[in-house]
Amino acid sequence: MTARIYRPAPNAMQSGKGKSKAWVLVHEPASPREIEPLMGYTSSSDTQTQVRLSFETLEEAEAYARANGIPYSVQPPHTSAPKRSNYTDNFRSDRKSPWTH
């Protein structure tokens, strides 16, 4: 069973960067989910998918995986370029669409 180490993206609904600084180690599912015939719930006998470990640095996460013999893959963090905007750009004459109230 392999694990995935990644840095979660910030919440798209907010401008802050909360919960996106820590590295997360998540186990990949070893068995597919099954539908229980009586109630119709989806279930799995794999309990490792419920484990989600957080680390402050990538090196700590890799060291934990190596120490416990867990094969892992690292996803590079997503970095977004900040969009710069000035208040005066609202009144520029070469805007694509005119600025109105």
Which CATH number belongs to the domain containing residue 64 in this structure? 3.30.160.190
- 71 within some domain: yes
Is the pTM higher than 0.85?
no
- Count: domains in the chain: 1
Question: pLDDT band at 98, cuts 50/70/90?
Answer: low
Give 77-96 pLDDT, tens digit per residue.
877 777 777 888 777 778 77
26, pLDDT greater than 80: yes
In angstroms, rounded to a whole number, what is the distance separating the alpha carbons of residues 37 and 77? Answer: 40
| Residue 61 domain boundaries | 1-9+21-76
In angstroms, rounded to a whole number, what is the distance separating the alpha carbons of residues 45 and 6? Answer: 25
- 45 within some domain: yes
What is the Rg, in whole angstroms, of the alpha carbon atoms belonging to the chain? 22
Question: pLDDT band at 101, cuts 50/70/90?
Answer: low
Mean pLDDT of the chain: 86
